[in-house]
Structure formats: structure tokens, C-alpha cells
């Protein structure tokens, strides 16, 4: 829709703006619509929800409402649910429809049940998280190698459209080749034609896996990553804008991959495991 609107020439003397909208299949009123900004009080609550979710990702709407009311906010279940959806957050506990796909998008089966993850590029995964900023908020996505926990690519965006997820995927494939299996949740960004199309390009031979219904921990490696990113980078630095956050995250992910020791990796770094510098990891085998 944004691409179509950008094609409209407001100075065209031959075709009126209304006629151009008709030819492009765009509602005329859409061109003049200005989205309503986030209220300061909603932003405060979203930041508090982000803190609590990072600590307790199993909290649902009712517990989050209780939490906000104890902080002095007069809020109901519906408003809390709206804020959580705007943030792209869902409670992590076993229940049907943990993350709903677009109704027209194909959903793939979960392929990792009882699979031993024993080598780099065997399984990659991705997800999206909310990032709070001093001047608003943004969304972060990353592609992670399950065996090594290495971050292969990442992107930050001010919208939840699928394009920034596709960009991260393409960068990871361009720099590191293709995984045998790529696992995601059922979110509409990952079931979109653009994202699935990138995975199914002829010659890539990537098997697509999506979290099983009611399985709360299928994407646990990415959830652990988000907690580390927020406590070790976002919350400590208080970034004010997306460009500032992008620079800070670039530095952090370099540290995370090449300097940060992981207990689950027998105190090696993700890059040491991914690159093969360390290759004896009994702790990693069967971790999934």
C-alpha cells in the first residue's frame, strides 16, 4: 500500500489524485490518512510490559493487567491485550494458537521433535522482539544458528512488516550459506509469501519448520537471546532513536558472537563453535 501511494504524483495536471488512486487501486482517503501516534501513557505502559515480559514471558493479559494496576494505571483486559499485540508479544505457555498466522498463509509442520542439533547450519531460527527507545519504540529481528547460538544477521524496524525479516534472512544466507532446516513461529511475517519465497528459492533446499501448536519452548534459543540483548544492551544504554539503537546493537552483537562466554557452550563463544575453533561440545548435543 505504501509503495502504491508513493507512485501518486500530486502535481500531475492530467490525472487528479482521485483518478490516480482509482487506477492504482488505492482508497483515496488512505492517501490523506495520518496514523495516530502512541499516547505517552501508553508508551509508559508498553515499556513496563516489556520489562515484565522479559522477566516473566509466561504472563498473560490478566496478570499483566494486575501488574499495571499495581503500578497505578487504570487499565482493563482489552487495553492490555491491544498494547501487547502492538508490541508483538504473546505469553509463552502451552495453549492453542500461540501465534496466529495470516489466514491465507500456509503453515508448515514442526520438524525438530527428537532431533539432535549437532552441527552449525543444521538449524537456524528467527523471531521478533519489541525494543523501547527514548523517542518511541522499534522492533528487532535476528537469525540465530541453534548449535552455536551465533547471531548470523539482524535488522531493526519501526514497523512489523515482513520486509525487514526477509532482509535479515537474505543477509544470513548470503554470508553463511543455507541451513538444512529453518524454524519460526506462526507469525504473519514468517508465513508471508515474501519470507517463504526466500526460503523456497530453487537450489537452496531449505526445509521449513514451524513451532508446533501448544509447544511453548520450540524457539527457546531466540527467547534467551532477547533476554540477554535487553538486559545487557537495551536497558543499560537507554537508546533514544533507531539510528542510535542500531549502532549500539551492532557493537553488542559483535561482542555477543566473539567475546561473550556461554555456560551452555562450555564457556566458549558462539563464533568459536560456529567457525569450528571449538568442536567438542557435549553440553550442546541434544540441547534442543
pLDDT digits (tens, 9 = 90+) for 253-266: 999 999 999 988 99
- Quote the radius of gyration of the chain (alpha carbons, Å): 21
Host domain of residue 54:
40-87
Mean pLDDT over 194-217 rounds to 83
Residue 140 lies in a domain: yes
pLDDT for 231 beyond 50 = yes
**Dist CA 3 CA 271 (whole Å):** 39
By DSSP bridging, strand 136-145 and strand 151-157 are: antiparallel
pLDDT for 282 beyond 80 = no
pLDDT for 195 beyond 50 = yes
pLDDT for 250 beyond 90 = yes
**Dist CA 218 CA 184 (whole Å):** 9
**Dist CA 222 CA 144 (whole Å):** 7
Mean pLDDT over 145-158 rounds to 95
Mean pLDDT over 236-265 rounds to 94
Question: What's the farthest any 2 CA atoms get from each other in the chain?
Answer: 71
Same domain, 64 and 8: no
Q: Give residue 134's pLDDT band: very low, low, confident or very high (50, 70, 90).
A: confident
Looking at residue 106, its pLDDT comes to 76
Same domain, 59 and 24: no
Residue 113 lies in a domain: no
Same domain, 222 and 244: yes
**Dist CA 191 CA 49 (whole Å):** 26
Q: How many domains is the chain partitioned into structurally?
A: 3
Distance of CA 135 to the CA centre of its chain: 20
Same domain, 219 and 141: yes
Closest by alpha carbon to 186, among 122, 130, 102, 115?
A: 102
The pLDDT tens digits of the residues spanning 66-120 come to: 999 999 999 999 999 998 888 877 765 443 333 444 555 577 888 988 899 999 9
Q: Give residue 215's pLDDT band: very low, low, confident or very high (50, 70, 90).
A: very low
**Dist CA 207 CA 123 (whole Å):** 9
Same domain, 45 and 127: no
Looking at residue 107, its pLDDT comes to 79
DSSP helix/strand/coil, 19: helix
Contact 137, 159 (CB under 8 A): no
Residue 100 lies in a domain: no
Closest by alpha carbon to 231, among 89, 55, 71, 87?
A: 55
Amino acid at each position: 500500500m505504501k509503495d502504491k501511494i508513493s507512485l501518486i504524483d500530486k502535481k500531475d495536471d492530467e490525472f487528479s489524485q482521485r483518478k490516480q488512486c482509482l487506477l492504482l487501486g488505492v482508497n483515496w482517503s488512505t492517501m490523506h490518512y495520518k496514523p495516530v501516534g502512541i499516547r505517552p501513557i501508553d508508551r509508559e505502559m508498553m515499556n513496563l510490559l516489556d520489562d515484565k515480559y522479559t522477566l516473566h514471558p509466561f504472563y498473560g493479559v490478566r496478570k499483566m493487567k494486575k501488574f499495571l494496576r499495581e503500578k497505578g494505571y487504570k487499565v482493563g483486559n482489552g487495553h492490555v491485550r491491544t498494547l501487547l499485540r502492538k508490541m508483538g508479544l504473546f505469553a509463552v505457555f502451552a495453549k492453542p494458537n500461540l501465534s496466529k498466522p495470516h489466514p491465507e498463509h500456509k503453515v508448515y509442520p514442526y520438524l525438530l521433535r527428537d532431533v539432535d542439533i549437532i552441527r552449525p547450519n543444521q538449524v537456524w531460527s528467527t523471531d521478533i522482539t519489541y525494543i523501547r527507545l527514548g523517542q518511541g519504540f522499534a522492533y528487532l529481528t535476528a537469525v540465530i544458528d541453534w548449535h552455536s547460538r551465533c547471531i548470523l544477521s539482524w535488522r531493526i524496524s519501526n514497523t512489523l512488516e515482513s520486509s525487514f525479516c526477509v532482509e535479515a534472512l537474505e543477509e544470513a544466507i548470503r554470508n553463511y550459506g543455507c541451513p538444512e532446516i529453518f524454524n519460526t513461529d506462526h507469525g504473519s511475517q514468517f508465513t508471508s509469501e515474501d519470507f517463504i519465497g526466500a526460503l523456497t528459492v530453487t537450489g537452496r533446499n531449505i526445509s521449513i519448520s514451524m513451532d508446533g501448536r501448544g509447544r511453548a519452548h520450540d524457539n527457546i534459543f531466540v527467547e534467551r537471546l532477547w533476554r540477554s540483548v535487553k538486559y545487557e544492551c537495551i536497558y543499560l544504554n537507554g537508546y533514544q532513536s533507531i539510528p542510535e539503537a542500531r549502532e549500539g546493537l551492532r557493537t553488542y552483537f559483535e561482542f555477543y558472537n566473539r567475546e561473550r562466554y556461554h555456560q551452555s557452550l562450555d564457556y566458549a563463544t558462539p563464533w568459536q563453535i560456529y567457525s569450528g575453533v571449538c568442536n567438542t561440545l557435549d553440553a550442546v548435543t541434544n540441547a534442543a
